[in-house]
Structure 1
Amino acid sequence: MCFITFNRVDDLQKPIENPENINWESYARGAVYALQNFGYELKKGIIGYISGVKGLDSSGLSSSAAVGIAYLMALENVNGLVISPVDNIQLDKSIENKYLGLENGILDPSAILLSRHGYLTFMDCKTASHSYVYFSELSKSQQCQGQLPFKILLAFSGLQHNLPKKRGYNTRVFECKDAARALLCATGCEDASCILRNVDPAMYEAQKCILEENLARRAEHYFSEMKRVVKGRDAWARGNLHEFGQLISASGRSSILNYECGSKEMIQLYEILLKAPGVLGARFSGAGFRGCCLAIVESDHAEAAAAYVRAEYEKAQPELVSKIPADRRVLVCEPGDGARVI
């Protein structure tokens, strides 16, 4: 829990200077910075507190995006501002990129703000557009009762994740840009912005041999992930959870082999999840350097799977597990709707 007093809204024109000093209050100031720089007038501040599951507040569960969005929505509410979820996504991105100096994209705030129960949110991160895909195997009665045939397991590795201090995520972003630059230059498109989205998949297949080994791995993760996203959308629309889960697991393997963002402990946890009863698929949560792994599991097997993961991970990492409260090691969760002011 963190108590915040923000009575007076200062004029924040300068980004934070020392990334090592970032804390949860920094996100409140970042929210003011973003709103003011987007032209919104703020006359009132806020007094309140933020809280969450102790021990999981820096564990790859989008905690920074959640906090940034909470501050944005609180400030907007007390100042009578009506701002759309799409615009709040860009405001949160401004907190992360421009105020805090992190190379985060829009995935986390989009998931927090746009989610709808019973639907898959299909996003285009380049255009910031989105659509919803209905799970075809969900009957109308189940939809009305809020029932889904699966649950989500969140398993904590015991390794705390801190993006400002752990710049591995920024490094991967820069490597993807380097790979894009090399591919675009090789095909005479050097004027295009250096993001892999601007590289045609056919161009990538024809030119990928020019990439250095580590850049080739990053590009392979990106292009294979793009294919998995489309296949995952189609599997969800058909109500095929098994295929959907296999694609999640394949994403996890590519994160390990091609994006190289795991650790020994995280990989152990990922592999344990894959063996748990009823688990359809698993991968890292967040950037994957530390924090949590998640799995999609058949509803009827959720508790058994959670018990299996707790026991097996404790055997693999007894020292780490001893530092995690017993009721925080594996959580059984359900998807829900997006963030809103209560």
Structure 2
Amino acid sequence: MGGNSWPPESELDDLRKTVADIAGRTTKEVRVVVSPYRICPLGAHIDHQGGAVSAMTINKGILLAFVPSGNSEVVLHSAQFGGEVRFRVDESHHPKKAGNANEIRNGKGSTKLVEECFWGRYAKGAVYALKSKGNILNQGIIGLISGSSGLDSSGLSSSAAVGVAYLLALENANNISISPSENIEYDRLIENEYLGLSNGILDQSAILLSKQGCLTFMDCKTKDYKIVNPSNLKVNDTNGVSKSYKILLACSGLKHALTSDTGYNRRVAECQEAARMLLDAAGKHEVKAILSNVEEEVYEAHKDKLEPHLARRAEHYFSENMRVMKGVEAWASGRMEEFGKLITASGQSSIQNYECGCKPLIELYEVLLRAPGVLGARFSGAGFRGCCIALVNSDLASEAASFVKNEYSKLQPELVSNITQEAAVLICESGDGARVIIAS
């Protein structure tokens, strides 16, 4: 599928030159972490309940060019944000506290305090995660972090991609060998403990485990996973439709949620509340309240006891879990049209049962479903802002992208004005998972 064409060598060369200049090193000494964004075709909003999920990485994402600093200092620059982040790996970094601040130095050498919601917090979180598990860090890094140009990455797990990038860079600089499964846990510590987010492990798992052209399947309860290779993708099916595919990323233009509370953490709590009521109804009072601990027979027997909004959350969980299982089978046998229909059904359940999605995102989802060659579509990410994804027939990808741009701009001209023409709808391919590139 050509996923390994990213990042292009020219982009790597530019990053190496910039970091070499900042650090006073040669370009040969500069290493680059490639940490791709992920999409989740099936398994929306159920990873935090221990459900089954599917994911793949794409040929867009985070690049972190760095050199070991030679001491304990970390010095970071961002291609997207101003300022310079400085701290030491031998300092204590404590989880999320009100009023914490990073010291950011601007280009004129003056200092200002910026609240710890700023971009440097992920690097500090990586140090926290590594040290909390007993790893000894003697070496910092001097680096430049950059996201894929022009792309609104909300809904593509950009935060997990950033966390993974810092983990891999710090491990590489300190000659620490960490398995992908350990790094999944480390990035969970960054997100859940250090930053205080209530998300599951899907994002970092996909970023660390995925292989080009494959679907990553994970049971979030047991942490077991498998890489599923599709069969016969280039063979025409009975309708004469090519089974080769590309991925459309369609940006909504929404930079922020339309309400002050996106509801993400509230939805997680509602799933847990539904699980608690179902388990109590079955006499399982000591069992942890997550929906994967509720057997389907128990759900069917007691779901009428749930309040309507909790019943919808539980219905989404059980129906989505089943869609993932069916989707893995469809993918493995190359039945892309069936896989696409499951993606669309996932999107519908996210709207109706999980009740996420605002008007512009729902309109974008519906436009994608009408586009030529689109096999299936859904929101990407939490569904309160960001983008939608679609699986599309390779031969019709360009036509579909043009259709979506034109039709969505009629519905949301103001939001579309916030998007660069090139980034409005991107045609992407599957890519490999996170890795460190050493200059040859």
TM-score over 0.5 for the pair: yes
CA contact (8 A) 2:247 2:390 kept: yes
Of structures 1 and 2, the larger Rg is shown by 2
Matched, 1:110 2:205: yes
Instruction: After TM superposition, give the deviation of residue 11 of structure 1 in Å.
Output: 3.0
Q: Residues 184-229 of structure 1, C-alpha deviation per residue, up to 9 Å, x if partnerless?
A: 1111111011100000011101110000111111100000001000
Match of 2:432 among 297, 313, 337: 337
2:376 is aligned with 1:281: yes
TM superposition shift of 1:178: 0.5
| More deviation, 81-90/4-13 | 4-13
Who is 2:88 aligned against?
A: 8
CA deviations on 1:257-295 (whole Å, 9 max, x unpaired) are 000110000000000000000000000001111000000
Instruction: Look up the SS of the partner of 1:193 in the other structure.
Output: coil
| Change in 2 beyond 3 A, CA 1:34/1:196 | same
8 A contact 1:5–1:47 mirrored in 2: no
CA–CA separation in structure 2 for the residues paired with 1:248 and 1:87? 30
Aligned equivalent of 1:233, options 320, 323, 328: 328
Q: 1:304 and 1:249 mapped to 2: Cα distance? A: 20
Give the percent of matched residue pairs that are identical in Structure 1 and Structure 2: 61
Q: Give the TM-score normalised by the residue count of structure 2.
A: 0.73
Alignment of 1:153 with 2:242, yes or no, is no
**Paired position in structure 2 for 1:322:** 417
Question: Does 2:288 match 1:208?
Answer: no
- Do the aligned residues in 2 keep the contact of 1:252 with 1:282 (CA within 8 Å)? yes
Instruction: Look up the SS of the partner of 2:284 in the other structure.
Output: coil
Q: For residues 72-117 of structure 1, what are the alpha-carbon distances to aligned partners after superposition, in whole Å with 9 as ceiling and x for unaligned?
A: 1011110111111111111101101000110011111111111111
Q: Distance in 1 between matches of 2:96 and 2:406?
A: 43
8 Å contact kept, 1:279–1:305: yes
Cα drift, residue 248 of structure 1: 0.3
Corresponding letter in the other structure for 1:97: N
Gaps of 5+ in 1: 141-146
Sort the Cα spacing of 1:34 and 1:4 in 2 relative to 1 into closer, same or farther, 3 A: farther
Q: Is the 8 A contact 1:11 1:33 kept in 2?
A: no
**Worse overlay, 118-127 or 255-264:** 118-127
Q: Compute the RMSD of aligned alpha carbons.
A: 1.9
Kept in 1, the 8 Å contact 2:234–2:244? The answer is no
Structure 1 CA distance for aligned equivalents of residues 431 and 334 of structure 2: 18
Higher strand share: 2
Q: Deviations over 1:237-272 (max 9, x none)?
A: 111000000000000000000001100000000000
Q: How does 1:22-33 map to 2 (within 5 A)?
A: 22-33=117-128
Question: Which structure's residues are more often helix, by fraction?
Answer: 1
Counterpart selection for 2:367 from 259, 272, 282: 272
SS at match of 2:426: strand
Distance in 2 between residues matched to 1:172 and 1:260, nearest whole Å: 9
Q: Structure with the greater relative contact order (CA < 8 A, sep ≥ 6): 1 or 2?
A: 2
User: What is the deviation of 1:148?
Assistant: 7.8
**Any idea what SS the aligned residue of 2:156 has?**
coil
Do 1:251 and 1:283's aligned partners in 2 also have CA atoms closer than 8 Å? yes
Q: Residues of 2 paired with 1:109 and 1:233: CA distance?
A: 20
Task: Determine the structure 2 residue equivalent to 1:74.
Answer: 169
